[in-house]
Chain A
Amino acid sequence: MLGLTKQDSKLMLIVIGLVVFAPFILNPFPEGSAMAQFNAGYPDLMQRFVIFGIFAIGFNLLFGLTGYLSFGHAAFLGVGSYAAIWSLKLITLNVLPGIVFAIIVAGAFSFVVGYVSLRRSGIYFSILTLAFAQMSYALAYSVLTPITGGETGLQIKNTDNPLIGGPTDGSIGRANLFGAEMGNSFELNIGSWLFTFNLGYYIAAAFMLVAFYLSIRIFRSPFGIMLRAVKSNQQRMNYTGLTPKRYTLSAFVISGMFAGLAGGLMVAMDTQVGPERMFWTASGEVVIMTILGGAGTLLGPVLGAGFIKYMENIVSKINKDILHEWFAFMPDGLEDAMVAFVYPFIGKGWHLTLGIMFMLVVIFLPGGLVEGGQRIAAKFRRTKNAETPDGASKPAE
């Protein structure tokens, strides 16, 4: 399919299935039930899943393949966001040009940052990218206020008058795609289940599928082999007549463009930007997503992004009252003790759970969640093979 091997096509189809049916998959519990708080199938969160998925896929092309750990990728996301919002404010409320601008501007900016930062490797490279991102943040926050809106950021206002098709009645314009607004949703009631199909989500999801497809193609291309060669042995590359730096810079710019796309989509979904989007913790988040999911794997970054965004939005909402409800079946003293024990790990303490998870993954599963899945699958296959007598002779896929 589309120039992919059978195995890659299978992976692509699984991801397409997951993304298309996400409103069902993420809403397994009926409305009003005690478990409904674990439903993640609302538009805002689903949009975040796929947008951060794109961000992490792009980051993985740099870090997973070349091994260069950029600690300033949020700057490209932020720059893309600013480019997109200016396009919405000045040119048209259609999101497509905004997204294209976001990709171009983020790509150009990452070329400059990459050109300078790639003079060094290892920790010094990471520090240089971090410095660039923090400079961008500080500039956006203060000196560049006329362009970035400073601390308050930028929003679409009713005084904005885009060149093409702005609202004429003085209302605040809404981002759209050829007239269809991002916020448009179709709700489906089945029994006590409620499923929401949001246009914005599906547009972002389509971009994520394209990003995922491109990432497979790059992984399987000669260019992809060269990027892995950069990680493996730059000396040999030089003596084989190749320029590792140009390959790394290309990967850096591609990865910056993916970040720009994510930033542009963020603005398309929710038409506002603030400088905090470029803060260093945002750069750290994408590093954690990629490593948690599995750096250098195709699916890992998407899984990692989904996992962290789920924790951030769902686990963080569990409060003390809910815990008391859960453990209500226990005798009073034990219930209080149990709640006191679990409480630091949920609600505002979700970072603690994430931190422990991250440590466990890095120590025991260096290949991230993807490696965990592969190990479980291998174990499962082995038991199955043991049961069928001819199983052992079959080659493993």
Chain B
Amino acid sequence: MALLSVKGVNKRFGGLQALGDVNLDVAENTCHAIIGPNGAGKSTLLNVLVGKLIPDSGSVVFDGQSVLGRKPHEINQMGISRVFQTPEIFADLSVMENMLIPCFAKRDGAFRMHAIESVRHESDMIEKAEAMLDEVKMLDKREMTASSMSRGDKRRLEMAMCLVQEPRLLLLDEPTAGMARADTENTIELLKTIRKERGVTMAIIEHDMNVVFSLAERITVLAQGTPLVEDTPDNIKGHPKVREAYLGEAQV
């Protein structure tokens, strides 16, 4: 049974059919990549999954519950975390504070007036945050202001912030976009480790074929808002339809 199941989703922006009858199943404990040329509707689909956009028709079911009509924070509380194309972190806060916020959100829910308790005394949360920072090898940067870090470290931090909530599904929106080659390699390694050690289900939107083929266990190719084909990476590489729509122009 699929963890995330998208059925017959349509979305129009004026005259543009951004998504046309999208069907997609993300199975538990896999890394599912969604690829496609520019304007294929990848980002629109992602925004539907996180509650930022509401589709005109169709259904999106996560773990047996519909996500449609729920707000982004409710969808997060269901167990879906999102990594953005440009890292979205709390830039003015320290790395440790950045980590503590998702810890509190996971424990206390969407809102809690814990105004008198001291952060220093939240040793459980601090331990959890430190363990996660250690896992992404950022423990030595815990007191740094997040904005002063490199792009790669910001991406690492954002990933750690998502993972510390132990999400059932991690959505990644072009996690290596605009990154230097070394940072890209690091990110791939990080994602591989996370995938192997934590067994977290991932859905990844990516342009970089290198990233896609080193991570994905299942690939859906989207073209003009419609899924063209869904298969394993090996089969996708040689698929004539895919070559025609997309891979013909990319180097594999």
- Give the B-binding residues of A (Cβ under 8 A): 3, 5, 214, 217-218, 220-226, 228-229, 231-233, 235-243, 246-247, 250, 254
CA distance A218 to B119 in the complex (A): 10
Contacts of B82 in A (CB 8 A): 239
User: A224 near B105 (CB under 8 angstroms)?
Assistant: no
Q: Given A229-B93, A232-B91, A246-B111, A240–B118 Cβ distance below 8 Å?
A: no
B97 at the interface (CB under 8 A from A): yes
**What distance in Å separates the Cβ of B100 from its nearest Cβ neighbour in chain A?**
6
In the complex, chain B residues 18-76 whose Cβ is within 8 Å of any chain A Cβ:
50, 71-74, 76
B114 at the interface (CB under 8 A from A): yes
User: B101 near A226 (CB under 8 angstroms)?
Assistant: yes
CA distance A243 to B112 in the complex (A): 10
B110 contacts which of A221, A232, A239, A241 (Cβ < 8 Å)? A241
Beyond known contacts A3-B118, A250-B113: 4 more, CB 8 A cutoff: A222-B104, A240-B73, A240-B102, A240-B161
Contacts of A232 in B (CB 8 A): 90-93
CA distance A250 to B116 in the complex (A): 14
**Size range of the chain B interface in the assembly:** 35 or more
User: B165 near A240 (CB under 8 angstroms)?
Assistant: yes
User: Can you list 28 A-B contacts with CB-CB less than 8 angstroms, sorted by A residue number?
Assistant: A3-B118, A221-B114, A221-B116, A221-B118, A222-B100, A222-B108, A222-B117, A222-B119, A224-B119, A225-B100, A226-B104, A228-B90, A233-B90, A236-B90, A237-B73, A238-B76, A239-B73, A239-B82, A240-B105, A240-B161, A241-B77, A241-B110, A242-B73, A242-B105, A242-B111, A243-B111, A247-B111, A254-B115
B122 at the interface (CB under 8 A from A): yes
**What distance in Å separates the Cβ of A62 from its nearest Cβ neighbour in chain B?**
13
Name which residue of chain B comes closest to A249, CB basis.
B111
CA distance A318 to B119 in the complex (A): 48
B248 at the interface (CB under 8 A from A): no
Name which residue of chain B comes closest to A230, CB basis.
B90
Contacts of A239 in B (CB 8 A): 50, 72-73, 76, 81-82, 84, 88
**What distance in Å separates the Cβ of A157 from its nearest Cβ neighbour in chain B?**
40
User: B115 near A224 (CB under 8 angstroms)?
Assistant: yes
CA distance A242 to B71 in the complex (A): 10
Name which residue of chain B comes closest to A245, CB basis.
B111
Contacts of B76 in A (CB 8 A): 238-241
- Please report whether the interface of chain A is mostly helix, strand, loop or mixed according to DSSP: helix
Q: Given A239-B82, A240-B101, A242-B73, A223–B113 Cβ distance below 8 Å?
A: yes
B109 at the interface (CB under 8 A from A): yes
**What distance in Å separates the Cβ of A217 from its nearest Cβ neighbour in chain B?**
5
In the complex, chain B residues 79-97 whose Cβ is within 8 Å of any chain A Cβ:
81-82, 84, 88-93, 97
CA distance A236 to B71 in the complex (A): 13
B73 contacts which of A214, A220, A225, A238 (Cβ < 8 Å)? A238
Contacts of B74 in A (CB 8 A): 241
Contacts of B111 in A (CB 8 A): 242-243, 246-247
**What distance in Å separates the Cβ of B205 from its nearest Cβ neighbour in chain A?**
15
User: A228 near B73 (CB under 8 angstroms)?
Assistant: no
**What distance in Å separates the Cβ of B115 from its nearest Cβ neighbour in chain A?**
4
Ranked 9 nearest A-B pairs via Cβ: A241-B76, A223-B115, A232-B90, A246-B111, A236-B88, A241-B77, A238-B72, A241-B105, A232-B92
Contacts of B88 in A (CB 8 A): 233, 235-236, 239
Contacts of A225 in B (CB 8 A): 93, 97, 100-101, 104, 119
Name which residue of chain A comes closest to B104, CB basis.
A222
